[in-house]
């Protein structure tokens, strides 16, 4: 065949149209060893409905991890669907650099209204990682612009086993060696403290008192660590230590925000208001990528000045405050009010606790950690090469549930809208799957 105007001979191969084949040929998945991935049949999700995901063959699976901790009121929520559709009829994207739009302004006001007291300014971006980058840069620049002694506050304190995202700044304050150690030479210095241990934090802060800009924590639950729970009173103690040593507190509620721990924000449970608050995952109900970094008026004012003083916050992403995403987020907040989501969640949290009581006694289970709707079922120490957590995922899939583990910790984080019957089904499937995965002859000799 002769290409028009060229004269080159072009060989035509039939293009594969099988999505699984296209996936193996062209897609590189996040947090995935592709060499193992291409040996498995990828599960293709085509549709969602309430608590369920539906594959290309029409099989239904309970969405046991809220599509990676995002979905809040279920898939195909009527109100959020309508809001996004309505916005689509107006404009899909317009910039926040030099312009504004009603969705972004209404959402900012709503977030300030529901956030812990004192947070009055909203800076938008698209992911949890960017919400954290922004908080770190704001804290750093704020201290620089205070001047004098404060200009020496150039480093951060984070907790061991913490996770704040995958961009270089957020990795610098991350504490999960498996994810983070490879990048060590690229990262800025940060000081680590023991999670849940206020005395250790006090020790670290007093050692580096004059060089720390801010402390960053995931309040109450360190999600990616495998649902590591802090003891009651810890977050309050962190706030008090930050105040005593004169440094800022950044709370990363990317995972815990929007009801996951049983209250709208985890900070509420200890009456804590941070100086900077990072939100993402559940912000749009799990519909569209949107993140927000909330700041106090004090921090905001630290950036004010005449144009040529260059106190501007020089940061902004192209899709910042996208109108479709803002429309979804506003409808998400409407649903929280109209459906009394937090109130109706409480008996489901109690039921989940009761159901997990049965899981905790299973011989295959080392420990169950729960706060609200965030659950880690720890299967104990196993040879990582066995990929026990992954085997649980595959067993659960056969039984009609989607879960994704963190190492050998099975994670449950269902949509807040899940029904009691669906919750019972999810826990039953996951218990059966743990039993089946551990009973696998490839696993047993080591587990014994």
Ligand X SMILES: *Cc1c(COP(=O)(O)O)cnc(C)c1O
Give helix 323-338 / helix 78-88 axis angle, nearest 10°: 150
Nearer to ligand X among residue 252 and residue 378 (C-beta): 252
Q: Which residue is nearest to ligand X (CB)?
A: 128
The answer to whether residues 397 and 43 touch, using CB atoms and an 8 Å cutoff, is yes
Q: Is 215 left (phi over 0), alpha (psi -120 to 50) or beta?
A: beta
Q: How far apart are CA 350 and CA 444, in angstroms?
A: 33
- Alpha helix locations (H) across 162-233? 168-172, 177-180, 198-207
Could you tell me which stretch among 127-135, 206-214, 263-271, 333-341 binds ligand X (CB under 6 A)? 127-135
In the block, residue with structure tokens 């949107």: 290
- The only residue of 164, 180, 369, 382 in contact with ligand X, by rule CB under 6 A: 164
**Which of 255, 327, 368, 430 touches ligand X (CB under 6 A)?**
255
What x-and-dash track marks residues 317-356 binding ligand X by CB under 6 A? ----------------------------------------
Return d(Cα 441, Cα 388) in angstroms, integer.
12
Helix, strand, or coil (residue 109): helix
Half-sphere exposure of 205 (CA within 13 A, CB side): 26
Cβ–Cβ < 8 Å for 263, 373:
no
In 202-354, beta strands by DSSP E: 212-217, 221-222, 228-229, 248-252, 276-279, 291-296
Q: How far is the CB of 289 from ligand X (least distance, A)?
A: 7
> DSSP 3-state assignment of 254?
coil
At its nearest, how many Å lie between ligand X and the CB of residue 163?
Answer: 6
Q: Which is nearer to ligand X, 175 or 302 (CB)?
A: 175
The smaller minimum CB distance to ligand X, of residues 281 and 391, is found at: 281
Q: State how far the Cα of 184 lies from the Cα of 178, in Å rounded to an integer.
A: 11
Distance CA 192, CA 126 (A): 27
Q: For ligand X, which stretch binds (CB under 6 A), given 100-108, 195-203, 247-255, 419-427?
A: 247-255
Site string for ligand X, 279-308 (x = CB under 6 A): -xx---------------------------
Residue 223 binds ligand X, judged by CB under 6 A: yes
Report how far Cα 340 is from the mean position of its chain's Cα atoms: 23
Q: How far is the CB of 167 from ligand X (least distance, A)?
A: 7
Least Cβ distance, residue 259 to ligand X (angstroms): 15
CB-wise, 48 or 174, nearer to ligand X? 174
Kindly state whether residue 165 participates in binding ligand X, applying the rule CB under 6 A.
Answer: yes
**218 is a site residue for ligand X (CB under 6 A):** yes
Does 107 participate in binding ligand X (rule CB under 6 A)? no
Residue placing its CB nearer to ligand X in the complex, 302 or 414: 414
Kindly state whether residue 104 participates in binding ligand X, applying the rule CB under 6 A: no
**Interacting residues with ligand X (CB under 6 A):** 127-129, 132, 163-165, 218, 223-224, 252, 254-255, 280-281
């Amino acid at each position: 065949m002769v290409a028009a105007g060229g004269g080159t001979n072009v060989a035509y191969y039939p293009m594969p149209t099988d999505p699984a084949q296209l996936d193996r040929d062209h897609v590189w998945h996040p947090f995935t060893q592709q060499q193992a991935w291409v040996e498995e049949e990828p599960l293709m999700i085509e549709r969602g409905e309430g608590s369920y995901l539906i594959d290309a063959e029409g099989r239904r699976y309970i969405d046991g991890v809220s599509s990676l901790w995002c979905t809040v009121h279920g898939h195909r929520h009527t109100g959020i669907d309508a809001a996004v559709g309505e916005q689509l009829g107006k404009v899909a994207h317009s910039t926040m650099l030099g312009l504004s739009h009603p969705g972004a302004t209404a959402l900012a006001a709503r977030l300030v209204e529901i956030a812990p007291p004192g947070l009055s300014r909203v800076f938008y971006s698209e992911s949890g990682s960017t919400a954290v980058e922004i908080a770190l840069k704001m804290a750093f620049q704020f201290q620089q612009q205070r001047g004098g002694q404060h200009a020496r506050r150039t480093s951060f304190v984070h907790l061991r086993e913490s996770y704040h995202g995958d961009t270089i700044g957020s990795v610098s304050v991350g504490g999960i060696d498996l994810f983070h150690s490879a990048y060590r030479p690229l990262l800025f210095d940060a000081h680590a403290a023991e999670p849940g241990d206020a005395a250790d934090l006090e020790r670290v802060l007093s050692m580096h008192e004059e060089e720390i800009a801010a402390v960053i924590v995931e309040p109450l639950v360190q999600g990616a660590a495998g649902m590591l729970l802090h003891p009651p009173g810890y977050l309050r103690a962190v706030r008090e230590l930050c105040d005593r040593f004169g440094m800022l507190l950044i709370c990363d509620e990317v995972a815990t925000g929007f009801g996951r721990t049983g209250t709208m924000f985890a900070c509420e449970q200890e009456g804590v208001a941070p100086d900077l608050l990072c939100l993402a995952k559940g912000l749009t109900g799990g519909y569209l990528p949107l993140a927000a970094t909330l700041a106090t008026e004090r921090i905001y004012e630290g950036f004010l000045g005449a144009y040529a003083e260059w106190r501007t916050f020089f940061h902004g992403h192209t899709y910042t405050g996208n109108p479709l995403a803002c429309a979804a987020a506003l409808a998400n907040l409407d649903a929280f009010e109209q459906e009394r989501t937090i109130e109706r969640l409480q008996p489901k949290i109690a039921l989940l606790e009761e159901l997990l009581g049965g899981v905790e006694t299973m011989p295959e289970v080392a420990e169950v950690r729960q706060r609200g709707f965030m659950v880690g079922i720890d299967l104990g120490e196993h040879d990582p090469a066995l990929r026990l957590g992954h085997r649980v995922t595959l067993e659960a899939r056969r039984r009609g549930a989607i879960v994704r583990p963190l190492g050998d910790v099975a994670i449950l984080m269902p949509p807040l809208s899940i029904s009691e019957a669906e919750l019972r089904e999810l826990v039953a499937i996951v218990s059966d799957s743990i039993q089946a995965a551990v009973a696998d002859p490839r696993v047993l000799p080591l587990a014994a």
